[in-house]
Amino acid sequence: MNNTKAYSAASATSPLASTHIKRRDTTEHDVQIEILFCGICHSDLHAVRNEWSAFMPTVYPIVPGHEIVGRVTKVGPAVRKFKVGDLAAVGCMVDSDRTCPQCKAGLEQFCPNMTLTYNSPDKHLGGVTYGGYSESIVVDEHFVLRVPANLNLAGAAPLLCAGITTYSPMRHWGVRKGKKVGVVGLGGLGHMAVKIAHALGAHVVVFTTSPSKKEDALRLGADEVVLSRNADEMKKHTFSFDFILDAVAAEHDINAYLNLLRRDGNLTLVGAPPKPLAIAAFGLIVGRRSLSGSSIGGIAETQEMLDFCGKHNLTADVEVIPIQKVNEAYERLVKSDVKYRFSIDMASLKER
């Protein structure tokens, strides 16, 4: 076993602080990765503060982080996909049973025995898994992704959660040239959705409550920006969208958006508001519209997304911070005060 520097929280009310954790030695199919950058996802904050205790209670200490890019430092004897020195990435999962119908369909994210990158039972060492706010990680090669060499690594890290979370439903619902796509909420997820939908060739409309975001939305690739509080502006788009991605995690009225879908249009939720949403049945009945959810993507699709981003030279807009600023970053994240993702430069963990 290896001793590794990391940042962990000791309780729901403790700040993240420097610590040491154990990583396993590489087994047959394992890849050991020196972590270079790790994005800060809103889920990290929810988990650290145990805000999802009802369905995913946090085990302390917790080391969050599931938007990981780094360099391979060691491989097990049976590893075929990677060699020492390669760029590599790890997202939200590090294992699954590989035998259930979900795994066989390449949808490991829905496997009942899937192991999350952090706060999941660790099959190798006992206790729970520890995530990317650390110097290194050891992961089975099946769950390690290749990173296109042209991508900026700090900006590539958020692709592993924010990127695949928005890419997967857009692919599933056929977003492509000639389709009209709406994006609700221009945050970490939303800004990736705009970039990806634009790169897929769709006509992209961003819905926002703040006029100040208009310029940024256009810069990111939106063709139009609609102020969602302006009923007249909204009405102009009635029955016109093929697909709408809703990335809002706060309470909001989704009926206003369902009414903008055309026949057989779909609205997919990727944000998770804490309370149940109210839905008017007629918003779905008229036009045979549908409402769905989506959760990250399978490993094969995550690789497809990274290759797509490589081809289009597409990364997240990030503010790079040293790990010592992580608690400050969390406070700013609560206020949505970041454009559009924090990416931790893990070289900072080596200091002191």
97 vs 253, beta carbon nearer Zn ion: 97
Q: Which of 12, 45, 56, 100 contacts Zn ion by CB under 5 A?
A: 100
For the chain, how big is the Rg over CA atoms in Å?
20
Phi then psi for residue 185, to 5 deg, are: 95, 110
Gap between the Cα atoms of 306 and 144, Å rounded: 12
Candidates 154-162, 209-217, 261-269, 327-335 — which segment interacts with Zn ion by CB under 5 A? 154-162
Contact 33, 73 (CB under 8 A): yes
Q: Which of 69, 87, 89, 111 contacts Zn ion by CB under 5 A?
A: 111
Kindly determine how many residues on this chain lie close enough to bind Zn ion according to the rule CB under 5 A: 8
87 vs 92, beta carbon nearer Zn ion: 92
258 vs 316, beta carbon nearer Zn ion: 316
Minimum separation from the CB atom of position 83 to Zn ion (A)? 28
60 vs 110, beta carbon nearer Zn ion: 110
Q: Which of residues 3-22 bind Zn ion (CB under 5 A)?
A: none
Q: Which of 6, 31, 62, 103 contacts Zn ion by CB under 5 A?
A: 103
Interface with Zn ion, residue 116, by CB under 5 A = no
Burial 329-346 (b: 16+ CB within 10 A, else e): bbeebeeeebebbbbbbb
17 vs 105, beta carbon nearer Zn ion: 105
| Interaxial angle between packed helices 162-172 and 188-199, expressed in degrees from 0 to 180 and rounded to the nearest 10 | 50
Interface with Zn ion, residue 161, by CB under 5 A = yes
Minimum separation from the CB atom of position 45 to Zn ion (A)? 10
Interface with Zn ion, residue 43, by CB under 5 A = yes
Residue where the block lists tokens 């893990």: 346
Interface with Zn ion, residue 166, by CB under 5 A = no
Q: Cα dist. 196→69, 83, 250, 311 in Å? A: 20, 30, 23, 12
Candidates 72-80, 117-125, 160-168, 335-343 — which segment interacts with Zn ion by CB under 5 A? 160-168
Candidates 43-51, 138-146, 167-175, 207-215 — which segment interacts with Zn ion by CB under 5 A? 43-51
Interface with Zn ion, residue 96, by CB under 5 A = yes
Tokens of 341: 């993702």
Phi then psi for residue 249, to 5 deg, are: -95, -5
Interface with Zn ion, residue 89, by CB under 5 A = no
Interface with Zn ion, residue 97, by CB under 5 A = yes
Residue where the block lists tokens 């993702």: 341
Q: Which of 9, 31, 35, 41 contacts Zn ion by CB under 5 A?
A: 41
Q: Cα dist. 26→12, 70, 210, 291 in Å? A: 32, 16, 49, 43
Q: What length does the chain have?
A: 352
The 10 Å Cβ neighbour count of residue 250 is 10
Residue type, 115: T
66 vs 237, beta carbon nearer Zn ion: 66
Minimum separation from the CB atom of position 32 to Zn ion (A)? 23
Interface with Zn ion, residue 328, by CB under 5 A = no
Q: Residue 326: which of 309, 303, 349 has the closest Cα?
A: 349
Gap between the Cα atoms of 26 and 228, Å rounded: 51
21 vs 103, beta carbon nearer Zn ion: 103
| Three-state secondary-structure class, residue 208 | strand
Candidates 108-116, 194-202, 223-231, 327-335 — which segment interacts with Zn ion by CB under 5 A? 108-116
- The contact set with Zn ion (CB under 5 A) reads 41, 43, 96-97, 100, 103, 111, 161
